Structures are given as structure tokens and as C-alpha cells.
Amino acid sequence: MPFCVVKSRTIKIFLSMIVVAVLLCISFEGYSSAEVWFGSSSRLVPIYNVDTSEKQVAISFDAAWGADKTQEIIDILKEYDCSATFFLVGFWVDKYPEMVKAIDEAGLEIGTHSNTHPDMAKLSYEKIKSELTSCIEKIKNITGKAVTVFRAPYGSYNNTLLNTASELGLKTIQWDVDSLDWKGIGPAQVTERIMQKTKNGSIILMHNNADHVTESLRMSLDWLKMKGYKVTSVGELIYGENYFIDANGVQHKQ
């Protein structure tokens, strides 16, 4: 019996060595399987949230279709003494330049959400760069200010996209709290999701023309304020330098 135990362990060790050797030789979707299995993947990730001890969160609005609720959102944010970030698509900027100006004049942050809202992870480097620079130029022509944050349409990204955005001085921003307001759910449901998922350093995703966005925003801000959170723009929340982003998209101060 002792001999069998030793032999069984030897076989297990030998098989493990074979598995490791195989992992070092094959790849998945461009990454070595060793990277995938041993957690050393070179895959880049955007900022989903921020590691901070401060009770601070950021609210963001994606704007691609419609603008009739945007001024009321601006007014609500002013009423609650909060900031926010609006990620604008280029064709929205073309259609609603007066709203772009209103957002900027209210002291709110403007980021790019691409020019035509494609799945940018499927585009070439040249097309990605064109999508980003076209929208940035449209925003700058109205506000006269630099654009420093970017959100990918559909939250879809890859290394090419993130590297290209970085080349243009953009930080790519995701979210860790999806309000699901885009599904048309009621204000109470939106607020409940925000209540359940928000923590220090969270980035909350909302949409400027969701069905109940203004009611949802008021209810959510009431709760956030009651809990002592400072509600800011993404740019105010994230670290501008001396930071790293872990595999889960959490931005840490270096």
C-alpha cells in the first residue's frame, strides 16, 4: 500500500508538469494560456472604480440619442450641489450644440463616447483614432476645452482601443454601478440598484435620455447625500497620475 501511495503522488506530479508545459506553449485569443491560468495576463483594462477611503463617487451620463431631459439633469445637479460627467457621441454633439454648451457652462465634465457609437473593439487602429479625434474636435470647437476621459460604446474594448485612447491623452472609463435606467425601469428600481451597489470610489452609469432619469437622479442623490457621499465628476474622482489599475479595473494610488 505505501508503494502505491508514493507511485500515485509521483504520477500526479508528472501530470502537473505536463499541464504546465502545455500551458506555456498554447494561447487563447492572443494571450498565452499561462497568462490566463496564472493571472499574469497582459490584457489591459479601463477604470471601473477607484480605491479610496473617501466617501466620494462619480455619476456619469452617456448621451447618444435625445436631449429633452438634459437641461433638467443639469438643473438637478446644481440644486444638489453635485457634479457629473457627460460622455457625448459626436453625432449628438452635431445635433445638440446648445446642450453641449449648457453642460460646459454649468461646470460639468464632458468626455467622448466616440463619434458614431460603433463597437470600437472591432475597429482598426486608424478607425479608432478617427472616431476619437473627430468627436474630441467637435467638443473642443464648442467648449474650447481639452477632453481627457472616454467611455467605449457598449462598454466594449480591447488593448488596441485602450492603447489608442491613451496615446490621445484619454483615460478610458467603465463603471461598477449600472443603474439599468436604459431598460426603462422605474425610479425606485434604479435607486435601489444604486443603493445596493455603490461604495467608496464607485462610478455610476446613467443615460441622459432614459425614461425616468430625472426622477431617478433626484431619488438617488437624496440617498447618496443622506449616506454622506460627495458626488463628483469622473475626472474629480480618479487619480491623474502615479496610479495603477488592477485586473478588476480598480484604480489604485501608486
Condensed to tens digits (0 to 9), the pLDDT of residues 158-182 reads 999 999 999 999 999 999 999 999 9
Confirm if 101 and 143 have CB atoms less than 8 A apart.
Answer: yes
pLDDT digits (tens, 9 = 90+) for 185-243: 999 999 999 999 999 999 999 999 999 999 999 999 999 999 999 999 999 999 999 99
Spatial distance between the Cα atoms of 234 and 237, rounded to a whole number of angstroms: 5
pLDDT, mean of residues 6-20? 50
Confirm if 65 and 182 have CB atoms less than 8 A apart.
Answer: no
With cell 439599468, the residue in question is 180
With cell 434604479, the residue in question is 190
Report which of residues 236 and 7 the model is more confident about. 236
State what percent of residues in the chain have pLDDT above 90. 83
Contacts of 137 (CB under 8 A, 6+ apart): none
Spatial distance between the Cα atoms of 171 and 174, rounded to a whole number of angstroms: 10
Q: What is the DSSP letter of 183?
A: G
Which of 73, 99, 85, 47 has the alpha carbon at shortest distance from 233? Answer: 85
Which of 195, 251, 242 has the alpha carbon at shortest distance from 48? Answer: 251
State what percent of residues in the chain have pLDDT above 70. 84
Query: Which pTM was predicted?
Result: 0.84
| Dihedral sign (CA 69, 74, 75, 79) | positive
pLDDT of 42 reads 84
pLDDT of 9 reads 58
pLDDT digits (tens, 9 = 90+) for 82-128: 999 999 999 999 999 999 999 999 999 999 999 999 999 999 999 99
Q: Report helix, strand or coil for 229.
A: coil
Confirm if 238 and 56 have CB atoms less than 8 A apart.
Answer: no
In the predicted model, is pLDDT for residue 2 greater than 60? no
